[in-house]
Structure 1
Amino acid sequence: MEGWRLESDVLERQLRSVGDAMAWRAFRYDRRYILTLRRNESPGPMTLSKEGTVHEIQFAEQQWSEHRSFVLLHDITDCLRIGDVTVFRDGDDDERDILLYELKTNPRRRESIQLTRTRLAAEALHTGGPLPGPDKAVLVETGVPYATHLSVLSDAFGRAHQEGLKTMRVPGQRGLLALDIPAAGNRWYAEEATRQFHAAHTALLRRMRLTGQHTCFSSGDSATRNTMAVPWGVYPLQIPQVEPVPPAIRGPVCGRAAAPSRDR
């Protein structure tokens, strides 16, 4: 039974990881929507045995057939926990409407708490009202542009897949060291791959005069665990086909990004 529970949990996480990626793309990577609509308890496992789930699917099909509007079901995500569905209607000049719905199978039934939470979320996004939740927080525009360098990361991963590892400069006096474990295992033995990794890291620090603070990411994604974490599905990274990893190279070796001491 424990094995089956694990399989069910993995399936649910994988489904909602894809759903989270769809949500980020549909909202055009605007964190305000994710931050606002996550402020509720998880709805629990999604199942087609629920009458409400079937009704939501029928609503999505109707919106597409009648209006060609994309409908995102919140139950297939983990980051959207307020409302049942979001409807995206594209208009002229790249304008579009984003409509949040709380659907009911029984039109006479009214759940004031859910409807109030949905109304607060809409007001927080469009009129600056308080976010849903007991802390009465509000969204604040900082005026600081948020820039990423995903093209550099993608290029580094691609080169590492060919060469085993790759060091690159990142704007903002930062350095990136990417290691492709299968490719490194095919090129070197385990001990030599580890030595190459540490040598490249030391050379990167020396070349860029960095203090050596490390930000380390592994492939252990926090999908459906951290509702504000950007899911891997939105990163423009190619997944190369690789040969099986030799047992000797398996281990907790990962890429490191070094940053100056003033960076956080």
Structure 2
Amino acid sequence: MKYKYWLWNAIGAIGLILTLGISMNVQAGLFGFGGDSWKEEVLLHDGKKIIVKRSQTYGGRVEPGQGGTVKEHTISFDMPQSGRSLSWKSEYGDDLGRTNFNALALHILGDTPYLVVEPNLCLSYNKWGRPNPPYVIFKHEGRSWQRIGIAELPSEFRSVNLIVNDSRQREIDELSKQFGYVTVEGINKINSSLTQSEYKTIMREPMSFDPGWCAEMVRTGDGWSGLGLFKMQGSLEACLLYCNREKVTEQNCPCNKLLKGNEGGISAGSN
């Protein structure tokens, strides 16, 4: 009898654990801890509309007091002319602790799609070359997405037509109820709260930024370093040795830019 009593208690405990696990997983989906997905009605430059599927998972590096960080972000759609299905993924960056990009616009010319995205916060902005205007642009060529410059983006593309602030999941869900997707009007409503000029239209000319919002940094072997530490080395030779010690790649090492012409070092009397 004692054995049976123990067995039934054990089975009950296992059942409770499984039930709690299922409940927690359901709540994770409801509250966005695991991931979110939705659809958007995207207005193209020629007046055509397509339905775009978007999804994102969470689990990146979270700072104290902050909410869930987007780990990966995927956009999927069917081309209106050929009907072929394409997708683009902003993957997790180990060097960033989060996804690389935030999506801004999807445009199509003929049977060629273009994506306009922005670096995701300061580290990503440094990683992707501190672009100005602050966009990274991809064009689908052959079987893959290739980065292109702003000058290669067709001039017809002017609108930011994707939901930019994709953290407003409750509002996205509410606007999706009637049609199963967020309409063009819903997208514009969500984006209307953004005041930055780069979100109002796709900028073509360099913008004047306050340099204080994101200091220029260099990727090292185990993190990021500000330019000041490289300047402090005093000479080009010492700076290059510092790059080597910190495992900075030759491409990323800023020494030639900072200390070219100072091969001999800073003299004792210099300021």
When Rg is computed on C-alpha atoms for both structures, the one with the higher figure is: 2
| Bigger relative CO (Cα 8 Å, ≥ 6 apart) | 1
| Bigger fraction of residues in helix | 1
TM over 0.5: no
TM-score (norm 2): 0.24
| Bigger fraction of residues in strand | 2
